[in-house]
Amino acid sequence: MDKFIISGGHSLKGAVTAGGSKNAALPILLSALLTDEECIIGRVPLLRDIETTFKLLEYHGKKVSFSKGVARIAPHKKLVTEAPYDLVKQMRASVLVAGPLLARFHKASVPLPGGCAIGMRPIDIHITALARLGAKIDNANGNLLLSADKLRGARIRFPFPSVGATENLMMCAALVPGVTILENVAMEPEIDDLLDCLVKMGAEMSREKGGRIRINGVKKLRGVKHDVIADRVETGTYLLAGAATRGRVTVKKSCPEHLASLLEHLARAGVRVSYTADSITVDSSKVRPRSVSIHTEPHPGFPTDLQAPWMSLMCVSHGSGEVKEDIFENRFMHAPELARMGALIAVDGHTAAVEGVPSLSGAEVMASDIRGGAALVVAALAAKGETTVQRIYHIDRGYERMEKKLASLGAKIRRVKG
C-alpha cells in the first residue's frame, strides 16, 4: 500500500487549479444509463472512485473511453439491470444505478452498499422514495430487488435532505410519466450540476424555492456534452493546507459561492480571504489563525467533507473550540491519529473539543477515509519533522495527484509505492 512521506514546517505558497468535482461527476456519469445516445462528460477527475464508476458503466453494457479529463460513454450492449456486488462494495455511490435502471426497465437489482468507515450509510430514504413512484422493493440475500408494473409521478418529501437520495430520485423521475415534486431535497451544488446535465439531456426539471424540485417525466432522454463543476472539497482542502501552514495559497478555476461557509469561518479565524469570480486566495502568513468552532450541516451549512481538514487547522490555531459532526455518526477517526502528532483533542460522541498547540510533531499515522486522510496530510504539512501517512489509497479516492499539487506549493512530500 502506498504511503506519503511529508517533511512539515514549510509554509505553502503559490497557486493550484481545482479539478472537476468527484461528487458531481459520479451521478452525472451514471445518468448516461438514462439514454442510448453518447454522453461526453468533461472535467472528470482521474480518481479511484471515477475508475470504479467507469467499470460499473461497462458492466451494465456501456462503452467507456477516457482521455485528458473527458469521458465518452457510448451505447454498446443491451443494458444489464443487475449491479455487481464487488463494485458496489467498493463505492457506495453505485447505488445510484437503481434510479436510472428502474425508470428505463422497470426493474433493477442492486446489492445493499453496506456501511463504510464513517457510518452505516443506510439507503432507507432512497427506498421509501422510489416506492412512492410505484416501485416494489424486496431485499433478498443482501440485494435490493426493485420492480414496477408501472411508475407514476408523486409528491415526495425527504425526511432528511439526503444528497444520494435526491440524485437517485431526480434520475428516476426524469423518465417517470406525470409530475414528481421532491421536497426537502439536498441543496448541494452537485445537485444543481446534475440537474443542469439532465435538462441538457431533455429532462423537464427545475428547482423551486423552499428546497423543492419539480419534475415532469418525459419519454426519452438524449445524449449530452457537459463539463462538471469544480471540486469544492478539494478546493477547501488546499485552502486549509495554506492556512494551517501560515502560507498564502490560491486555488484557480474554483467557485467561491460553493464555499461560502468555509470562507466565512476562515475569515472569522483571522485568515485573510480574497476571491475573484473563479479563484480563491487565503493568506495566514502574517497572523496565526484563531480557533473557530464548527458544526456540520447540509448545504449551505459547513460541509461535513471539510470537517476533518478544518479540525487539523484548529489543532495549530490559537485558542480552543469545538467540532460538532451532525451528518455522519462516525467521522472522527482522524482525531486519534492527530493526537499521535501532539494534537489536544477530546472526543465525546458527535463533538470533539480541540485545544490549539504551538506546533504539531511528525509521526507515523494512518488514513481511514478520504477526508480524514486529507486532514492528516494538512496536519503533517504544518507539523515540525517528518510524518508518514499510511493507506493513502483512501486519499486517492478523492484527490487527484495530491502530492504533485502540494509539491507545486512548496510542500516537501513524496509518495512511496508500497
Residues of this chain that interact with ligand EPZ (CB under 6 A) are: 22-23, 26, 93, 119, 121-126, 160, 162-165, 186, 188, 304-305, 327-328, 370-371, 398
Q: Measured from the CB of residue 158, what is the shortest distance to ligand EPZ in angstroms?
A: 9
Percent of the chain that is helix, strand, coil (3-state, to 5): 35, 30, 35
Q: State how far Cα 50 lies from the chain centre.
A: 12
Q: Which is nearer to ligand EPZ, 297 or 386 (CB)?
A: 297
Cα dihedral sign, 400-402-404-408? positive
Q: Measured from the CB of residue 338, what is the shortest distance to ligand EPZ in angstroms?
A: 18
Q: Measured from the CB of residue 392, what is the shortest distance to ligand EPZ in angstroms?
A: 15
Tell me the one-letter amino acid at 376: L
DSSP for 337-361, written as a single string: HHHHTT-EEEEETTEEEEE--S--B
Burial of 203 from C-beta contacts in 10 A (0-12 / 13-18 / 19+): buried
Is residue 68 left, alpha or beta, with left meaning phi > 0 and alpha meaning psi from -120 to 50?
A: left
At which residue does the C-alpha cell 446489492 appear?
A: 111
Q: Measured from the CB of residue 197, what is the shortest distance to ligand EPZ in angstroms?
A: 15
Q: Which is nearer to ligand EPZ, 47 or 271 (CB)?
A: 47
Q: Which is nearer to ligand EPZ, 92 or 252 (CB)?
A: 92
Angle at 360 between CA 358 and CA 365, to 5 degrees: 165
Residue least distant from ligand EPZ (Cβ): 164
Q: Measured from the CB of residue 251, what is the shortest distance to ligand EPZ in angstroms?
A: 17
Q: Measured from the CB of residue 287, what is the shortest distance to ligand EPZ in angstroms?
A: 30
Angle at 371 between CA 403 and CA 187, to 5 degrees: 120
Across 255-287, b (16+ Cβ under 10 Å) vs e yields: bbebbebbbebbeebbbebebeeebbbbbbbee
Q: Which is nearer to ligand EPZ, 191 or 383 (CB)?
A: 191
Q: Which is nearer to ligand EPZ, 238 or 356 (CB)?
A: 238
As a whole number of Å, the CA-based R_g of the chain is: 21
**Catalytic site includes residue 172:** no
Q: Which is nearer to ligand EPZ, 115 or 418 (CB)?
A: 115
Q: Which is nearer to ligand EPZ, 283 or 305 (CB)?
A: 305
Contact 180, 158 (CB under 8 A): no
Contact 233, 239 (CB under 8 A): no
Q: Measured from the CB of residue 4, what is the shortest distance to ligand EPZ in angstroms?
A: 18
**Cell output for 29:** 456519469
Q: Pick the catalytic residue from 39, 116, 197, 255.
A: 116
User: Which uninterrupted H or E stretch holds 73?
Assistant: strand 70-75
Contact 222, 292 (CB under 8 A): no
Distances (CA, A) of 394 to 3, 84, 305, 327, 398: 11, 21, 14, 20, 8
Catalytic residues: 116
